[in-house]
Structure 1
Amino acid sequence: MRTIVNFQTDLLRTFVSVIDLGAFTKAGEALGRTQPAISLQIRRLEELVGSPIIKQVGRTLLLTSEGEMLLSYAREILRLNDEVASYFDRSKIAGVIRVGLPNDYAVAFLQGVITEYTRQHTEISLELHCGWSAEILDRLHADELDIAVAMVNGERAQYLSRSWIERPIWAAAADVGVDTTVGVSLAAHPEGCAYRARMIQALDDAQIRWRVAYTGSGIAGLQNAVVNGLGVSALTQYTMLPGMRALDERDGLPPLAEIRVGLFYKHPRLSDAGIGLVNHIISRLDEAGVSSSPRSRYSELDRR
């Protein structure tokens, strides 16, 4: 008979808290335990795993490869555990939730998902903050945001819960032709935008001349620039509008590199209302078929 190893949620919660808060003492303060008790729980978890999961370099805590794998599963297990606990808790879900969304990504779908949740829970006050992905993640690290959606730099980014791939689409006005032999006019977000960088890189690699004809930080302004024929741009399926058409290699434009987008949060810092919103976002992403589970995410890595 196969031996079942039971990863207790209190051990996993301690592990996630240590990593998210960056110290055993901070995790102990958040969980109401002493530092020796936290260390004992981490050792117990390492016994279950069969190898070290955390290594300390100076004052910095780093994950081993086994720890990286366990962390992804631990976040998912705790999210589901807290979802069940919230379901049977009859108290109202209330409070302020601060969410960061990136300028350089299609936020319309996510804004709809988030506001859908707040309409279901009227005691929640929502604060939406938009900015560049790097800025949003900095604010999450500084505890100025509770939940963030941002571009993922590296497969195993800190506080990452779920991720999904977006393949940018070249978009142009429906009635405007594009002649790559004479150069391409671009409508783009300012420097620092992942979509802008991918357009320029693709055109440079294909040795196609380009110039930036429109620059603006808002998605609406960018869409209007494309519809009005000021330039072509990189958009997603969610931000294509009537009056636009998608371009590809048949139009002389090279493919754009994919972008990985992630949902980030610090589990020990998140309220019940925040956990509920995370669960709602993940549910909608799964329904749309765009998010990847921890297992599929690491299976993809194993194939590389």
Structure 2
Amino acid sequence: MRPPIETELLKTFVTIVETQSFTRTGDRLHRTQPAISMQIRRLEEALGKEVFDRTKRQVQLTREGELLLHYARRILSLSDEAMSRIGQADLSGIVRIGTSDDYANILLPEILRRFAEAQAGVQIDVVCDNGVAIERRLKDGLIDLALVASRGAVAEEELIRTEELVWIAATPSQAKSRPLSLAVFPDGCVCRATMAEALDAAGRDWRIGFSSDNIGAIHAAVRSGMGVSAVERSLAPAGVRILGQAEGLPPLAPVHLCLKLNRASTSPVLDALADEIRIGLAPAPLRYEPQAHHHA
């Protein structure tokens, strides 16, 4: 088994790619050009492969170099993140989070547990309400950050991930009921509005059969057959069926999971907790599949 590659070698490799020059890399890393060349030789010896095509006058990667670049950037990013997080001073104070009941019960508990273990001096206050009310609280300065679902265009810095919405019911036969009975959060919920718009666009009659601001109660109502509902696919509970167009229900527009910060907040904990939430809820990275090379 080959020994692990030193991060210092990976940093030199990535810097060469970014600067397109061994000399400029030496200037940036405060090393001589021969020292930079020696590091790349060590890297190639560790890999057993060449990472630069030396038949070209300009800096050009080999196929193995292109693959390494993908992983090197990820490794260096994780290394920087770990050093930043672990080296962070102990924090104290209060941080106030606003979110929906389902996110507070399903998405946040493990994230907040890890953060509380690392920062025992922090008090975390969680306020649950619908998205409209939470964003109003954020605007009024009553909370420090908001984890909400949004539709339409969102700011890139606020987007964590995009979620597919799916219909859920106790049995497929419920999709055929006229009017369609819905189990939903009170008005102001993005999922409720998305369901209503999709059904109206499809010319489908519907009614509110059950409403609650508690996600456990809504799930129980769906399981009992009181109504159908819509949730992010990743949050679909046990004991329900996922339905769709095959059962006669219209497709639902996706929603965006967003983290919005109150930049006027004086909480010393704001950025640290925001980073923890982004990391905990970030979509899984796509698996890198190198292109197949066909030879004549």
Could you tell me which amino acid in structure 2 is paired with residue 241 of structure 1?
Answer: P
| Cα offsets for 1:258-287 (capped at 9, x unmatched) | 112210113463544222111111112235
When structure 1 is superposed on structure 2, of 217-226 and 113-122 the one drifting more is 113-122
In 2: Cα distance, 1:153 partner to 1:248 partner: 20
Shift of 1:226: 0.3
| Residue pairs, 1:252-291, within 5 angstroms | 252-267=248-263, 269=265, 271-286=267-282, 288=284
- Compute the RMSD of aligned alpha carbons: 3.1
| Residue pairs, 1:4-83, within 5 angstroms | none
User: TM-score if structure 2 supplies the norm length?
Assistant: 0.62
When structure 1 is superposed on structure 2, of 226-235 and 128-137 the one drifting more is 128-137
Residue 248 in structure 1 maps to residue 244 in structure 2: yes
Gap runs ≥5 in structure 2: 1-18, 25-79, 287-296
Match of 1:177, SS state, is helix
Match of 2:178 in 1: 182
Match of 2:42 in 1: none
Match of 2:60 in 1: none
| Residue pairs, 1:45-124, within 5 angstroms | 87-89=86-88, 91-103=89-101, 107-124=105-122
Match of 1:256, SS state, is coil
Q: 1:237 and 1:152, CA in 2 relative to 1: closer, same or farther beyond 3 A?
A: closer
Q: 1:164 and 1:203, CA in 2 relative to 1: closer, same or farther beyond 3 A?
A: same
Tell whether the 8 Å contact from 1:180 to 1:252 is kept in structure 2 after alignment: yes
Identity %: 27
User: TM-score if structure 1 supplies the norm length?
Assistant: 0.61
Gap runs ≥5 in structure 1: 5-80, 291-304
| Cα offsets for 1:72-131 (capped at 9, x unmatched) | xxxxxxxxx999766545x42211111111247575112321232112221111100011
Match of 2:123, SS state, is strand
| Cα offsets for 1:28-48 (capped at 9, x unmatched) | xxxxxxxxxxxxxxxxxxxxx
In 2: Cα distance, 1:113 partner to 1:253 partner: 34
Could you tell me which amino acid in structure 2 is paired with residue 133 of structure 1?
Answer: G
Residue 198 in structure 1 maps to residue 197 in structure 2: no
Could you tell me which amino acid in structure 1 is paired with residue 167 of structure 2?
Answer: W
Match of 2:145 in 1: 147
Residue 165 in structure 1 maps to residue 143 in structure 2: no
In 2: Cα distance, 1:161 partner to 1:167 partner: 18
Could you tell me which amino acid in structure 2 is paired with residue 151 of structure 1?
Answer: A
| Cα offsets for 1:201-256 (capped at 9, x unmatched) | 11111112212111111111100000111011011234322210100111111111
Match of 1:129, SS state, is strand
Could you tell me which amino acid in structure 2 is paired with residue 240 of structure 1?
Answer: A
| Residue pairs, 1:200-219, within 5 angstroms | 200-219=196-215
Q: 1:194 and 1:227, CA in 2 relative to 1: closer, same or farther beyond 3 A?
A: same
In 1: Cα distance, 2:285 partner to 2:245 partner: 26
Could you tell me which amino acid in structure 1 is paired with residue 188 of structure 2?
Answer: G
Q: 1:235 and 1:211, CA in 2 relative to 1: closer, same or farther beyond 3 A?
A: same
When structure 1 is superposed on structure 2, of 148-157 and 120-129 the one drifting more is 148-157
| Cα offsets for 1:138-195 (capped at 9, x unmatched) | 22222211111123355345x953332122110001x462253633111111222111
Q: 1:87 and 1:262, CA in 2 relative to 1: closer, same or farther beyond 3 A?
A: same
Larger radius of gyration: 2
